[in-house]
Structure 1
């Protein structure tokens, strides 16, 4: 492994261009564009206010910078530094801004989700989409960029509108069988749209009701069930409906596999249910037990250790199933069963108690599924989708903040908010300390699309980690 120097950044606004050649970084109101191979500054832009959001266009020619507090969007050109565009939403405000797949239209969502404004950089035309629903995952583009699905709320009912992104023509508009639509997402193939219902607010349940839910006892009849997952075709036909149980706390996370063969659903009952793409029925259910008695999975536990010799080299290439590779301040140990997984009992007296599967991620080849159960915040679970069983358990010394698969191979990177970078592969685990002069705590991370480089983000800094040690980077 090799690490770059540390650079400044704000609000973790660091993006690699889609072509993989450039890195854009926001530092307060400045936008810095670097050549990723040399890390030299190519362009430096100054915005009108502190940047809230930043995004590359699909062809890597333009960069969008949104300033939500002022209702402004500025667009910069990488090829023509003197050219720029400013969009002012005025008094109607701005809460979200993003590129369309063609990289020539910008979609701005106004305050209170009154409408979505579509701005064209080519023709300067403006069009409006009314009634967007105020939910975090209410807008989603298909992977090929041909279609956009939008959740809408009209006359106290949920609708979905499907648009053709080439000309923003409305292809389909249909009502959904949801009480309160919480999100939607296209399959990787773009042929199926998953729509799921929201669950009741945990804070709205009484102590006894929430306790009964955790103990798998029937909830009072006054609490209506909210667990519902709906699968729609491109023409709006309802393909299937899935509901795991009639509890009032339902779906917490949804994730498609890259092959579109699996749809993983994380729930508040601490279980993951995986549906197949043929019958849309459950093929396996993964649980997160507090005690692993007789398991074939390898359980890795992070332990602290004394500083090692500075000359020690750490490489992913010599990982073996029985090894305990370590950084200068921590290492992994393999624990034989039985193993007790650290867990925190949810407090039903507090609003929104921490419980349920909140994070799901498939490996690039759809072979493995990584999950995180919130009341086991220090643990990442890795499941084998071919054998349909638990493959590995990673128990960290502190809470897992982020994990992400390498886009080219089965290698999982994760961070816990300290100075270490952790990785798992079918061969084993490794813990590496990020070298820096000051305190650099890894709060988030993301892979380069080649899988050869990782971007590590701290509170106000960033660092690049190169896995190819044959290349020298400044």
Structure 2
């Protein structure tokens, strides 16, 4: 059995060997002491492992005797701290609150259920928005640990508070924006400017086969604005509906969301005022987005050769520097917020953002509208 091929499947925590004789387990390797620890019974789910932000504890989803469990380990010596069963039919994911005091556990998409446990395994609260329909698709904590955002297949985001664990508001994602107070940025291709008296000629034959990427800019659209929607295929698994991605800004002031039925748009919500603040509509479906860890600045990629940045001061479209056609499929900020790692199918690119005391910036200064 080729174990390296199995571990390439990063979404799986464990897997049976093809002959069914072996069950893989989690292996913890120490890069300092070269010691090895083994943890049995991990459950194969999309988000079955979660670490507290300070790195002291790890929660692991487990499946034993047809029952879901959660084990909490001390990361310093990998000793078991707590072990408890969960009131789920088929646990789909777990996530620690940033303060490390509460663990969110949610059930399969066939059962709308969010369970909140304390560090010692006590059930603090349970939340269910509706029944008899597809349920939870995405979950995110605010950095302050005050809010838990739950994205559902019904196209809404529900915000729970940390005091009563009740819903304080819900955000819908309509296909038409009518409110004039909401700013809608639409990506558009730039029209090349020609000098007076000059005509545009086709490129030479030698360069005709090289397709240069078109420059784009953001334009502020006038309401009402109709966003591009995607009609889901009803007879296929994993329909393109619901809230597929959501993330809070580092100051917990903003929440970015993406509805899979409106794939080209990113919705940015004002959490202080509990209202929609900005909508960004791209020319292509949004593949990934992530907040700058140091400030409310959102980076977006759509699978093309550009990176898009938004901040409360404005937004900018930037061509990825380099040779060839680099298609950005995902991205990740450095912890200090001064650089971005961009990933394509076979390569990655590390881009540094120049500071304000230098001449120009790699991705534009805050406030640029291009």
TM-score bracket for the superposition, by shorter chain length: 0.7 to 0.9
Q: CA separation of 1:415/1:307 partners in 2, compared to 1, >3 Å: closer, same or farther?
A: farther
Higher relative contact order (CA 8 A, sep 6+): 1
Query: Deviation at 1:329?
Result: 1.4
| Counterpart for residue 41 of structure 1 | none
Q: Does 1:339 align with 2:225?
A: yes
Aligned counterparts of 2:35 and 2:316: Cα–Cα separation in 1: 52
CA deviations on 1:322-344 (whole Å, 9 max, x unpaired) are: xxxxx961111111211111111
- Is the CA contact 2:284–2:302 (under 8 Å) kept in the aligned structure 1? yes
| Counterpart for residue 236 of structure 1 | 121
| Counterpart for residue 135 of structure 2 | 250
Q: Does 1:301 align with 2:186?
A: yes
Cα RMSD between the aligned structures? 2.5
| Counterpart for residue 274 of structure 1 | 159
| Counterpart for residue 55 of structure 1 | none
**How does the TM-score come out when normalised to structure 1?**
0.66
Q: CA separation of 1:119/1:241 partners in 2, compared to 1, >3 Å: closer, same or farther?
A: same
Q: Does 1:185 align with 2:71?
A: no
1:65-80 matches, within 5 Å, as 70-71=2-3
1:29-428 matches, within 5 Å, as 70-71=2-3, 94-95=6-7, 110-112=14-16, 114-120=24-30, 125-200=35-110, 226-307=111-192, 329-428=215-314
Aligned counterparts of 2:343 and 2:359: Cα–Cα separation in 1: 22
Query: Deviation at 1:128?
Result: 3.0
Range moving further from structure 2, 120-129 or 454-463:
120-129
- Is the CA contact 1:419–1:441 (under 8 Å) kept in the aligned structure 2? yes
Query: Deviation at 1:154?
Result: 1.1
| Counterpart for residue 5 of structure 1 | none
- Is the CA contact 1:308–1:328 (under 8 Å) kept in the aligned structure 2? no
| Counterpart for residue 465 of structure 1 | 351
SS of equivalent residue, structure 1 residue 409: coil
SS of equivalent residue, structure 2 residue 92: strand
Query: Deviation at 1:111?
Result: 2.9
Q: CA separation of 1:252/1:166 partners in 2, compared to 1, >3 Å: closer, same or farther?
A: same
Aligned counterparts of 2:299 and 2:34: Cα–Cα separation in 1: 42
Aligned counterparts of 1:177 and 1:407: Cα–Cα separation in 2: 34
Between Structure 1 and Structure 2, how many residues are aligned? 335
**How does the TM-score come out when normalised to structure 2?**
0.84
Aligned counterparts of 2:9 and 2:348: Cα–Cα separation in 1: 24
Query: Deviation at 1:118?
Result: 3.4
Query: Deviation at 1:109?
Result: 5.3
Aligned counterparts of 1:396 and 1:307: Cα–Cα separation in 2: 20
- Is the CA contact 1:298–1:334 (under 8 Å) kept in the aligned structure 2? yes
Query: Deviation at 1:350?
Result: 2.1
Q: CA separation of 1:328/1:110 partners in 2, compared to 1, >3 Å: closer, same or farther?
A: closer
- Is the CA contact 1:158–1:180 (under 8 Å) kept in the aligned structure 2? yes
Structure 1 unaligned runs (5+)?
A: 1-68, 73-92, 99-107, 201-225, 310-326
Aligned counterparts of 2:53 and 2:9: Cα–Cα separation in 1: 19
Query: Deviation at 1:95?
Result: 2.9
Aligned counterparts of 1:307 and 1:394: Cα–Cα separation in 2: 23
Q: CA separation of 1:415/1:308 partners in 2, compared to 1, >3 Å: closer, same or farther?
A: farther
Aligned counterparts of 2:176 and 2:334: Cα–Cα separation in 1: 36
| Counterpart for residue 64 of structure 1 | none
Aligned counterparts of 2:324 and 2:35: Cα–Cα separation in 1: 49
- Is the CA contact 1:249–1:268 (under 8 Å) kept in the aligned structure 2? yes
Aligned counterparts of 1:440 and 1:128: Cα–Cα separation in 2: 39
Structure 2 unaligned runs (5+)?
A: 17-22, 195-212, 362-370
Aligned counterparts of 2:248 and 2:99: Cα–Cα separation in 1: 15
